[in-house]
Each structure stands twice: as C-alpha cells, then as structure tokens.
Structure 1
C-alpha cells in the first residue's frame, strides 16, 4: 500500500509533465500563450484531482499484487 505522500508526489510530477505538454499543444493550436496556458492549468487541475483519487482507490485493491 502506498502512502498518501507518495501518491501525491507521483501525481504532481506526472501532472507537471502534462502541464508542459498541454501548454505547448495549446499554444500551437490557438497561437496564444495565455489561452494555451489557461487551458493547460485547467486541464492539470482537473487531471491531478482525478489521478489522486484514482490512485487512492487502486491502492486499496489487492488484485494483481505479488507478495513475498
């Protein structure tokens, strides 16, 4: 079972990568750094929240784990 701190760090790092990618995609698609950045921040906020909850749910499921 993972600690909440580990789950949070994993989620933040993953979302930082996603924020950078989404910012570039938003800039490329809209031609505006402000609009692309806003899209990226909104997407990252939603994604981070969903990912954290998803990881916490899976941390309670024993299926597929190997012990020993």
Structure 2
C-alpha cells in the first residue's frame, strides 16, 4: 500500500527530472535561459501538485 510519504518522494523525484527536461526543451526553442527557468519552474510546480493528487486518488482506488 502506498503511503503519503512515498507519494511525496515519488512526486519530488520525478518533478526534478521533468523540470530539467522542460527547461532544456524551452531553452532549445528560445535560447533564453532565464525565461526557460521561470516557465519551467512554474509549470512543474503546478504539475507536481496535480501528480500528488493523482497518486493519492490512485492509492485510494487500489
């Protein structure tokens, strides 16, 4: 059974990886590292929250 702590650790570890990918992709298209970092961080904070909620709902259903 998943715990809240495990869900949180999975969320954080995945978002670190995904943030790097997002920032790198935005930078490849814009060439602007500051913009890439700002957008990448904002997007991934929102996605981290959504992912955590998804993990908790999934854990309740299984």
TM-score by length of 2: 0.94
TM-score by length of 1: 0.87
Answer 1 or 2: which has greater helix percent.
2
Which one has the largest radius of gyration?
1
1:5-64 alpha-carbon deviations (Å, 9 max, x no partner): 1000000001000010011011111110000111110111011000000000000012xx
Unaligned runs of 5+ in 1: 63-68
Alpha-carbon separation, structure 2, partners of 1:37 and 1:27: 8
Which structure ranks higher in relative contact order (CA pairs < 8 Å, sequence separation ≥ 6)?
2
**Aligned Cα RMSD in Å?**
0.7
Query: How many pairs were matched up?
Result: 62
